[in-house]
Structure 1
Amino acid sequence: MSKPLKGLRVLILEDEFLIAMDVEQLCRDSGAEDVFIVRSLQELAADMPDFDVAIVDLMLSGVSTLDFARQIYDRGVPFVFASGYTDLQEITEKFPNISVIGKPYAGEDLIGAVTAAVANRNSRQSLTTP
């Protein structure tokens, strides 16, 4: 089996327990070294794990994650949005080149989007590194 996330530390921002557990298993099966599930922004603020890539639900218990997404976007951390929302125009305008995977999603679609986000970051870094 292919291990596209081999060695990566993955942050999962997801408030739905079963979805978070499924995504964690997908990441581990795809080679992730560590997987951190965070269910609220308060939990994230209290203990921010060190991660390489993130899967970000747009809303955690009714609270928008866009401010957090902006922080990691501005730092160049690769991530994808996972969302059940269908009105995504604002997201695609504010976060160009960030994939939005609609819920429910196929596991291979999610892992493919995460892999592409990491590859895009790596290619940008190699262009700017002498």
Structure 2
Amino acid sequence: MTSKPSLAGRQILLVEDEFMIAMDIEAELVEAGAQVVCAGRLEEAEKLAQTVSCHAAILDLDLHGKTSFPVADRLEERGIPFLFHTGHGVRENLKTRYPHTLVCNKPCDISDLVRSLGELVPAS
């Protein structure tokens, strides 16, 4: 069994439009020691991607029929690592557009998702 990453002192932006999924991911992140800032709509997520001080992000690709690409673009401009947690994106297409990101296809084990995020978060 792989141990959970320590995300103590790390702030994570979570962009997810499905409330129950967001709650489950947030709980797992908090258990790993992270502070979580959540957004469920594209407009809110875009604003946070420009302003919030975070160490990494988890992005759902489809937010109520809109892609989270503008959020990913802002995070990339700011040098903030992120991963996509999506049931809609094609891994190869996402990796072509964002070569330095990870893609976790839904459904996936939330512990695995958090471990993947831990690979992206800079060491303290």
The answer as to whether partners of 1:3 and 1:29 remain within 8 angstroms in 2 is: no
Q: Give 5+ residue unaligned stretches, structure 1.
A: 123-130
**TM-score with structure 2 setting the length:** 0.85
Aligned ranges 1:109-120 → 2 under 5 Å: 109-119=112-122
Secondary structure of 1:105's match? Answer: coil
TM-score by length of 1: 0.82
Moved over 4 A (4+): 45-48
In the other structure, the counterpart of 1:35 is 36
Which of 45, 59, 71 is 2:62 aligned to? Answer: 59
Segments of 5+ residues of structure 2 without an aligned counterpart are none
Relative distance call for 1:62 and 1:116 in structure 2 (3 A) is: same
Computed over aligned residues only, the root mean square deviation of the Cα atoms, in angstroms, reads: 1.9
Q: Aligned residue for 2:99? A: 96
Which has more radius of gyration? 1
Question: Which residue is 1:13 aligned to?
Answer: 15
Are 1:87 and 2:90 matched, yes or no? yes
3-state SS, counterpart of residue 76 of structure 1: coil
Q: 1-side partners of 2:111 and 2:83: how far apart? A: 14
Matches within 5 A, 1:58-77: 58-77=61-80
How many residues get paired?
Answer: 119
- Per the alignment, residue 45 of structure 2 pairs with 44
Q: Deviation digits for residues 19-66 of structure 1, max 9, x if unmatched?
A: 00000000000111x211100122234554332211001110010111
2:13·2:56 contact (CA, 8 Å) conserved in 1? yes
CA distance in 2 between partners of 1:70 and 1:30 (Å)? 27
